Amino acid sequence: MAQQDDVFKKIISHAKEYGFVFPSSEIYDGLSAVYDYGQNGVELKNNIKRYWWDAMTLLHDNIVGIDSAIFMHPTIWKASGHVDAFNDPLIDNRDSKKRYRADVLIEDQIAKIDDKIEKEVAKARKRFGETFDEAMFRQTNGRVLEYQAKREALHQRFSDAMNAGNLDELRQIIIDEEIVCPISGTKNWTEVRQFNLMFKTEMGSTADGAMTVYLRPETAQGIFVNYLNVQKTGRMRIPFGIAQIGKAFRNEIVARQFIFRMREFEQMEMQFFVRPGQEMEWFKYWKEWRLSWHKALGLGDEKYRYHDHEKLAHYANAATDIEFQMPFGFKEVEGIHSRTNFDLSQHEKFSGKKIQYFDPELNESYTPYVIETSIGVDRMFLSVLCSSYEEQQLENGETRVVLHLPAALAPVKCAVLPLVRKDGLPEKAREIVDDLKFDFTTHYEEKDAIGRRYRRQDAIGTPFCITVDHQTLEDNTVTLRHRDSMQQERVAIADLHRLIHDQVSLPSLLRKINK
Ligand code: ATP
C-alpha cells in the first residue's frame, strides 16, 4: 500500500510538472478540492469528452445532446429530492477540530475488519503452501469466523442506521466501536449532523427580493426538465436518449484523493427514456455498452469491475457502478441507474405541467421510465492518467517516465523535431508542421539534444516523434519514432498523414467499442 501511495504521489507531481493539473489558486495557497487543468490537461480532458459525446450521439441515432444552464429554478431541487435529502452525516472531533463523514468513519472500521480477515488468510497460505484450501479455511477457521460475525453485525447495524436516517445511532456506533480521530487520537466526538451538499447563492438584488438558487449538484435534472422540449422539437420516439456534459458542484465534506473527489467537477450524463416494463432490458444493455466503451481504450480489462448496489435509492429499481482500479483501490468511475419514472413524475407534480409520452404503437400515454448513465470526467481523466503512467527501466540503464495514453486521447499527437538548429532543417520541419497541424495537435521543438526532446514527449504521452535530418533534405524521408516501443522507422513525408491518422483518430477508437 505504501508503495502504491508513493506511485500516486508521483503521478500527482507529474501531472503538475507537465501541465496537466494544477491546484486552484495556487499562488494564494490553493483552494481545497478545487483544481485547474493546464495546457496538456485540457487537451486530454477535451478528448475524453469528445470520445464520450461521439460514442453517445454518433453511434446511436436515437440520442441527441443538450447544454442546459447551471442555474435552474430552485423548485427543481425540491422536486428532485436534493433540498431535503442530498445530505452527508458529519461529525467533528472536539480536540483536533477536524470534521469527518460519520458513514466513512464506520466504513473504514468495516474495512479494517476485512483487512484482518485477509491477513489471517495470507498467513495461513504461507504456512500451508500448495496444499492450502482457501475456501475451506474461510469457512472453518475460528478467528476468521469470529471476525466475519463481527463484520456482519457491524454492517447490519450501520445499514439499518443509514436507512432509517438515525444520526444518534451512527454516533453510538462510532462510540461503541471506539473509533478515534486519526489526528488527535481521541474519542471526543460531537453529535452527528446532516449536512446538505448543495452550494447556495442569490440571484437578483436584495432590493428586488433575491431568490436563493443552487449550483447544480448533477447535470441530470437539466435533462429531465427539458424532456418535453427535446421530445417535441426533435420528434423523438421512445426509446430515445438525451446526453449532456457539464459542470456540477458539491460541497464535499471529506475531499481527498486529488481530482477523485472535487467540489467543482464535470459530469457526462445520458438519460435514456423507455417504455415502462422495458427498463430492465435497457439497464442490461447500457451496463454492457458502457463497460465496452471503457474497455475499448485498452487500459486493461482486469482493471474494471461492476459493483451492483444492494441498497437502492428509493426511486431506483436497479443500480450498478463501474469501478476502476486506481492506485488507492477499486473506485467508482461511473454509475448506471434504473430510475423508474421518479424524476419526470416529480417534475409533473411540482410544475403542474403534463409530462407524458403518447406511444403511437400502444395507442396510450405514459410517463417514460429512465435509465441513466453518469460518469465523472475528472475521475475518467484520473483513471486514464494513473493507468498510463510508467517509470521504465531501459536496457542502457537509464529510466524514462512515459504516459502510455490511448493515442486518440493524447494531448499532442506528434512532435516534429529538427535534428540540429541549422542547415535548413528547422525550415523543413516547419513545413511538415504546417501540413500536419490542420488534422493533428502538432508540437515543434528544436531546443536540447534529441534524446531529451524524446523524453519530454514521452512524459506527456505523445504517440509519435518525427525527426528531420540531413537525409530529409535529399529524399524527403524522416524518422518516425513510436512512443511505447521507442522503435524508429524511415518513412516518406508523404505517408506521415496516413500513418499517424490510422493510430490517433477518434473514429478508429469508436470502432473498437463492442468488438
Ligand atoms: P461517490 O459515492 O463517490 O460520492 P456518487 O455515487 O455520489 O459518488 P453520482 O451522484 O452517482 O456519484 O455521480 C455520478 C458520477 O459523478 C460518479 O460516478 C463520479 O464519477 C462523478 N462524481 C460524483 N461526485 C464527484 C466529485 N465530488 N468529484 C468528482 N467526480 C464526482
> Tell me: the pLDDT tens digits for 214-232?
999 999 999 999 999 999 9
Give the mean pLDDT of 196-202: 94
What angle, rounded to 10 degrees, do the helices at 2-17 and 377-388 form?
Answer: 110
Instruction: Note the pLDDT of residue 254.
Output: 74
What is the 360 CA–ligand 1 centroid distance (Å)?
37
What is d(CA 296, CA 512) in angstroms, rounded to the nearest whole number?
Answer: 5
Contact yes or no for 336/314 (Cβ under 8 A)? no
Instruction: Note the pLDDT of residue 201.
Output: 94
Contact yes or no for 280/372 (Cβ under 8 A)? no
Candidate from 35, 80, 379 with most ligand 1 atoms within 8 A of CB, to mutate: 379
Q: Which three cell numbers stand for residue 479?
A: 524518422
Instruction: Note the pLDDT of residue 358.
Output: 96
Instruction: Note the pLDDT of residue 206.
Output: 65
| Predicted confidence (pLDDT) per residue in 100-121, tens digit | 999 989 988 998 998 899 999 9
Q: What is the dihedral of CA 110, 111, 117, 121, to 10 degrees?
A: 160
Closest ligand 1 atom to Cα of 379: 20
With a 6 A CB cut-off, is 258 part of the ligand 1 pocket? Answer: no
Q: What angle do CA 78, 82, 87 make, to 5 degrees?
A: 140
Q: What is the mean pLDDT of the chain?
A: 94
Number of neighbouring beta carbons within 10 Å of residue 2: 5
Contact yes or no for 473/425 (Cβ under 8 A)? yes
Give the mean pLDDT of 134-158: 93
What is the 247 CA–ligand 1 centroid distance (Å)?
12
What is the 376 CA–ligand 1 centroid distance (Å)?
6
- Signed CA dihedral, 344, 347, 349, 354: sign only: negative
With a 6 A CB cut-off, is 76 part of the ligand 1 pocket? Answer: no
With a 6 A CB cut-off, is 458 part of the ligand 1 pocket? Answer: no
- Looking at ligand 1, which residue's alpha carbon is closest to its atom 9? 335
What is d(CA 63, CA 239) in angstroms, rounded to the nearest whole number?
Answer: 9
**Residue 20 C-beta-side C-alpha neighbours within 13 Å:** 27
Candidate from 37, 104, 267 with most ligand 1 atoms within 8 A of CB, to mutate: 267
Going by pLDDT thresholds of 50, 70 and 90, the confidence category of residue 45 is: very high
Instruction: Please list the alpha-helical segments (H only) found in 296-413.
Output: 342-351, 377-388
- Looking at ligand 1, which residue's alpha carbon is closest to its atom 2? 332
Contact yes or no for 319/309 (Cβ under 8 A)? yes
Closest CA to 89 of 200, 150, 152, 163: 163
First-to-last alpha carbon distance for the chain, in angstroms, is 35
Instruction: Note the pLDDT of residue 208.
Output: 66
What is the 59 CA–ligand 1 centroid distance (Å)?
25
With a 6 A CB cut-off, is 250 part of the ligand 1 pocket? Answer: yes
- Looking at ligand 1, which residue's alpha carbon is closest to its atom 21? 376
With a 6 A CB cut-off, is 252 part of the ligand 1 pocket? Answer: yes
With a 6 A CB cut-off, is 265 part of the ligand 1 pocket? Answer: yes
Spell out the long-range contacts of 478-482 with Cβ–Cβ below 8 A and sequence spacing 24 or more: 478/432, 481/454
β-partners of residue 390 are: 402
What is the 269 CA–ligand 1 centroid distance (Å)?
11
| Predicted confidence (pLDDT) per residue in 278-305, tens digit | 999 999 999 999 999 999 999 999 999 9
> Does residue 90 have a pLDDT over 90?
yes
**DSSP code at position 409:** G
With a 6 A CB cut-off, is 14 part of the ligand 1 pocket? Answer: no
What is the 332 CA–ligand 1 centroid distance (Å)?
8
Contact yes or no for 278/317 (Cβ under 8 A)? no
- Looking at ligand 1, which residue's alpha carbon is closest to its atom 19? 376
| Predicted confidence (pLDDT) per residue in 401-452, tens digit | 999 999 999 999 999 999 999 999 999 999 999 999 999 999 999 999 999 9
Cis before residue 239, ω within 30 degrees of 0? yes
Closest ligand 1 atom to Cα of 380: 20
- Looking at ligand 1, which residue's alpha carbon is closest to its atom 30? 376
% the chain with pLDDT above 70? 98
With a 6 A CB cut-off, is 326 part of the ligand 1 pocket? Answer: no
What is the 201 CA–ligand 1 centroid distance (Å)?
22
Instruction: Note the pLDDT of residue 309.
Output: 81
Contact yes or no for 383/299 (Cβ under 8 A)? yes
SS (H, E, C) 16-33: HHCCCEEECCHHHCCCCC
> Does residue 1 have a pLDDT over 80?
no
> Does residue 58 have a pLDDT over 70?
yes
Q: Which three cell numbers stand for residue 117?
A: 480477515
Going by pLDDT thresholds of 50, 70 and 90, the confidence category of residue 379 is: very high
Name the 3-class secondary structure at 304: strand
Contact yes or no for 510/60 (Cβ under 8 A)? no
Contact yes or no for 117/90 (Cβ under 8 A)? no
Q: Which three cell numbers stand for residue 375?
A: 460518469
Closest ligand 1 atom to Cα of 376: 20
Q: Which three cell numbers stand for residue 92?
A: 467533528
Contact yes or no for 266/245 (Cβ under 8 A)? yes
What is the 45 CA–ligand 1 centroid distance (Å)?
17
